[in-house]
Structure 1
Amino acid sequence: MTGQGPLNLDTSRPHPARTYDWFLGGKDNYPVDEELGRKMIALEPRSPVLARVNRAFMHRATLWLAEQGVRQFLDIGTGIPTEPNLHQVAQRVAPDARVVYCDNDPIVLAHAAALLRGTPEGVTEYVQADVRDPATIVAQAKEVLDFRQPVALSLIALLHFVPDEDGAYELVEQLMSELPSGSHLVVSHASGDFTPEKSRAATETYKAGGITLALRSRDEVSRFFDGLELVEPGVSQVTDWHPELGEPVPGQDDDVIPGYAAVGRKA
Structure 2
Amino acid sequence: MEQRLSWVPKEVDVSKPSAARVYDYFLGGSYNFAVDRAFAQQLLAVAPTMPMVCRQNRSFLRRAVQHILGHGVRQFLDIGSGLPTTGNVHEIAQAAYPDARVVYVDNEPVAVAHSELMLKDNDSAIILHADVRDPESILNAPETRSLIDFDQPVALLMVALLHFVPDVDQPAEFMARYRDVLAPGSFLALSQGTEERQPPQVHAVRDLYNQRANRVTTRTSAEITSFLGDFDIVEPGLVFTPEWRPESPSDVPDEPELAGFYAIVGRKP
SS at match of 1:225: coil
Cα deviation, 1:191-249, whole Å, max 9, x if unaligned, reads 11122522221111111123210111111111111211000111111111110289949
Please list, as runs of the form range in 1=range in 2, the aligned pairs for 1:167-182 lying within 5 A after superposition: 167-182=170-185
Unaligned runs of 5+ in 1: none
State the alpha-carbon separation in 1 of the partners of residues 9 and 59 from structure 2. Answer: 33
Q: Which residue of 2 aligns with 1:157?
A: 160
Note if contact 1:157-1:188 (Cα within 8 Å) is conserved in structure 2.
Answer: yes
Aligned equivalent of 2:220, options 210, 217, 220: 217
Letter in 1 for 2:263: A
Cα deviation, 1:22-41, whole Å, max 9, x if unaligned, reads 11122211222122211111
Note if contact 1:81-1:115 (Cα within 8 Å) is conserved in structure 2.
Answer: no
Comparing 236-245 and 75-84, the one that deviates more: 236-245
Aligned CA distance change for structure 1 residues 164 and 104 (closer, same or farther; 3 Å) = same
Aligned equivalent of 1:258, options 251, 257, 260: 260
1:97 deviates by: 0.8
Note if contact 2:57-2:261 (Cα within 8 Å) is conserved in structure 1.
Answer: no
Please list, as runs of the form range in 1=range in 2, the aligned pairs for 1:199-218 lying within 5 A after superposition: 199-218=202-221
Comparing 68-77 and 253-262, the one that deviates more: 253-262
Aligned Cα RMSD in Å?
2.1
Aligned CA distance change for structure 1 residues 265 and 131 (closer, same or farther; 3 Å) = same
1:74 is the counterpart of 2:77: yes
Letter in 1 for 2:137: T
Aligned CA distance change for structure 1 residues 75 and 246 (closer, same or farther; 3 Å) = farther
Unaligned runs of 5+ in 2: 1-6
Letter in 2 for 1:191: T
Aligned equivalent of 1:106, options 102, 105, 109: 109
User: What is the TM-score when the length of structure 1 is the normalising length?
Assistant: 0.90
Q: Which residue of 2 aligns with 1:131?
A: 132
User: What is the TM-score when the length of structure 2 is the normalising length?
Assistant: 0.90
State the alpha-carbon separation in 2 of the partners of residues 179 and 148 from structure 1. Answer: 8
State the alpha-carbon separation in 1 of the partners of residues 16 and 188 from structure 2. Answer: 31
1:12 deviates by: 2.9
Alignment length, in residue pairs?
259
State the alpha-carbon separation in 1 of the partners of residues 8 and 200 from structure 2. Answer: 44
Cα deviation, 1:46-92, whole Å, max 9, x if unaligned, reads 10111111110000000110111011100011111111211111112
Percent sequence identity over aligned pairs: 40
1:168 deviates by: 1.6
State the alpha-carbon separation in 2 of the partners of residues 45 and 6 from structure 1. Answer: 32
Comparing 174-183 and 71-80, the one that deviates more: 174-183
State the alpha-carbon separation in 1 of the partners of residues 110 and 254 from structure 2. Answer: 33
State the alpha-carbon separation in 2 of the partners of residues 183 and 230 from structure 1. Answer: 12
State the alpha-carbon separation in 2 of the partners of residues 63 and 258 from structure 1. Answer: 22
Letter in 2 for 1:58: L
Cα deviation, 1:122-175, whole Å, max 9, x if unaligned, reads 711111111122111111212221111011000010011111111122222111
SS at match of 2:87: coil
Letter in 1 for 2:23: Y
State the alpha-carbon separation in 2 of the partners of residues 246 and 36 from structure 1. Answer: 34
Letter in 2 for 1:73: F
